Amino acid sequence: MTKKERYKIVLDYFEKNIPNAQTELIYQDSFQLLVAVILSAQCTDVRVNQTTPAIFKKYPNAVALAKATFDELFPLIKSISYPNNKTKHLIGMANMLMDKFGGEIPMRVDDLVQLPGVGRKTANVITSVVDQQPNMAVDTHVFRVSARLGLTTKATTPLAAEKQLIQYIPEALVHKAHHWLILHGRYTCFARNPKCSLCGLTEICGYYKKQMKNKVAQKTA
């Protein structure tokens, strides 16, 4: 099977089974999404969604957030992982938006990564979700699922995985494929004890074949 054929099988499967995939973060505009994605680093979307309403009520835009002090913002974030750093990042991000970007969220990855708390993954999320740009954000789910399905080969870093995925996924589908891979990893292809019995991609999954091979070996040992 060629890489092109493998990608077609995977993308067709997701298109049929998760046609309306989208982020599970709750937001109303690009500013709220940026805040939510910064908070979501090493934290669940569920926890972020429980936390952001109070933040958005008090700080509805970059103008308001830029005026926040650490002591004012921290209590609203303390239930999130790494609250000290994220509090500083959010305030710094808002101030840079005001000082450098006129309070608007830039839609270029190179601009976004200049903001405190924003790395390449976050920048790719913002541009793909808000603007449907063909940018692939690679988190732990995308990295794991892509490797198991053979979409990536010997990709040892998120950037390497991103480059391989972008090479084979049609531009028009990249923004959707990001969510497909995340949701598949979040609800089916767990790091431990994945729900292979519920997955329709086991025929091409290298991880599944390896697990089956190991089970056969254990039975015959």
Q: Which residues are catalytic?
A: 121, 139
Residue type, 95: N
| Eight-state DSSP code of residue 72 | H
Nearest to residue 95, comparing CAs of 110, 128, 123, 117?
A: 117
From CA 142, how far away is CA 147, in angstroms rounded?
Answer: 8
**Residue in this structure with the two tokens 């969510």, named with its chain if needed:** 179
Q: In the numeric block, which tokens belong to residue 87? A: 């509090």
Q: In the numeric block, which tokens belong to residue 66? A: 């830029």
Q: In the numeric block, which tokens belong to residue 85? A: 């750093």
HEC readout, 134-199: CCCCCCHHHHHHHHHCCCCCCCCCHHHHHHHHHHHCCHHHHHHHHHHHHHHHHHCCCCCCCCHHHC
